[in-house]
């Protein structure tokens, strides 16, 4: 079945159907990251890269759902497992650098070290928050397409009994050194990477890099709202 274009009127692009089925009965909460988002697997060379990327996302989601369903395990144990999965499925350092953008080059080595450390702690905090929101949605992979010589976008739909229609999540997957890694998550057309870059950039512009690091630390400690620049 061809993926419906009614869910994404702004991007009527030639999505390929996945090589395998992609529906689950539980929800992935790796949107930290989101998300959210399995070992970086080198799949058979004969398959198209876009289809390989879809298989990668399916396996990553499947593994995350298995972790989330283990209610016999403690919350901390599940957080730790999801963190390991995140390390395997994403390039967190690259995402952190892309989020900071041009300010990364302006930061001192010590500021960079602290920033990467805080970024990882923020992701862990988000994972912990997402676990409490796990409530049985299901995810369907509806297609994938190559967007350049390195990156593929994999489209998924999340079905929630509390919503009348599914919502769209696209995963930007990069193929490098024989493996796949998630570098961005796009929910209903809104890029997590771009959103965070704008948010952090406003803070650095107003308060400097030290101001951003302070705001991130306060958020991790739960003493502040999500970091935003003062108006």
CATH number of the domain within which 209 lies: 3.10.450.710
pLDDT tens digit sequence for 124-146: 888 767 666 667 778 899 999 99
Q: Mapped to the 3 state alphabet, what secondary structure does the chain carry?
A: CCCCCCCCCCCCCCCECCCCCCECCCCCCCCCCCCCCCCCCCCCCCCCHHHHHHHHHHHHHHHHHHHHHCCCCCHHHHHHHHHHHHHHHECHHHHHHHHHCCHHHHCCHHHHHHHHHHHHHHHHHHHHHHHCCCCCCEEEEEEEEECCCCEEEEEEEEECCCCCCCEEEEEEEEEECCEEEEEEEEECCEEHHHHHHHHHHHHHHHHHHHHHHHHHHHHHHCCCCCCCCCC
Domain presence at residue 181: yes
Mean local confidence (pLDDT), 151-168: 90
What are the structure tokens assigned to 178, written together? 């024989």
Domain presence at residue 28: no
Domain presence at residue 29: no
List the domain range (segments joined by +) for residue 54: 49-221
* Contact assessment for residue 221 and residue 115, using Cβ atoms and an 8 Å cutoff: no
Q: How confident is the model at residue 57 (pLDDT cuts 50, 70, 90)?
A: very high
Q: Is residue 27 scored above 50 in pLDDT?
A: no
Angle at 81 between CA 76 and CA 62, to 5 degrees: 125
- Cα(181)–Cα(87) distance, integer angstroms: 10
Residue 223: the pLDDT is 57
- Cα(202)–Cα(197) distance, integer angstroms: 8
Domain presence at residue 8: no
Domain presence at residue 2: no
Domain presence at residue 40: no
Return the C-alpha torsion angle 224, 222, 169, 167, nearest 10: -80
Q: Is residue 196 scored above 90 in pLDDT?
A: yes
Range with lowest mean pLDDT among 40-54, 59-73, 152-166, 209-223: 40-54
Q: Is residue 42 scored above 50 in pLDDT?
A: no
Q: Is residue 10 scored above 50 in pLDDT?
A: no
Mean local confidence (pLDDT), 175-192: 91
Mean pLDDT of the chain: 77
- Report pTM: 0.72
Q: Is residue 29 scored above 70 in pLDDT?
A: no
Domain presence at residue 44: no
Q: Is residue 61 scored above 90 in pLDDT?
A: no
Domain presence at residue 202: yes
Total count of domains within the chain: 1
B/e letters for 46-80, b = 16+ CB within 10 Å, e = fewer, are: eeebbbbbbbbbbbbbebbbebbeeeeeeeeebbe
The percentage of residues in the chain with a pLDDT greater than 90, rounded to a whole number, is: 43
Q: How confident is the model at residue 104 (pLDDT cuts 50, 70, 90)?
A: very high
Q: State residue 157 phi and psi, 5-degree precision.
A: -120, 135
């Amino acid at each position: 079945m061809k993926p419906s274009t009614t869910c994404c009127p702004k991007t009527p692009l030639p999505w390929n159907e996945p090589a395998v089925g992609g529906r689950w009965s539980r929800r992935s909460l790796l949107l930290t990251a989101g998300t959210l988002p399995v070992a970086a697997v080198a799949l058979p060379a004969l398959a198209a890269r876009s289809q390989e990327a879809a298989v990668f996302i399916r396996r990553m989601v499947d593994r995350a759902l298995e972790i989330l369903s283990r209610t016999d395990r403690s919350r901390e144990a599940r957080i730790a497992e999801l963190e390991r999965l995140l390390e395997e499925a994403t390039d967190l350092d690259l995402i952190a650098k892309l989020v900071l953008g041009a300010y990364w080059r302006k930061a001192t080595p010590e500021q960079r070290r602290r920033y990467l450390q805080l970024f990882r702690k923020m992701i862990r905090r988000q994972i912990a928050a997402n676990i409490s929101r796990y409530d049985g949605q299901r995810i369907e992979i509806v297609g994938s397409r190559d967007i350049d010589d390195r990156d593929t976008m994999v489209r998924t739909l999340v079905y929630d009994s509390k919503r009348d229609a599914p919502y769209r999540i696209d995963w930007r997957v990069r193929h490098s050194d024989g493996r796949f890694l998630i570098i961005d998550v796009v929910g209903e057309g809104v890029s997590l990477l771009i959103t965070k870059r704008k948010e952090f950039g406003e803070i650095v512009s107003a308060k400097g890099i030290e101001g951003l690091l302070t705001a991130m630390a306060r958020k991790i400690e739960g003493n502040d709202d999500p970091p935003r620049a003062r108006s």
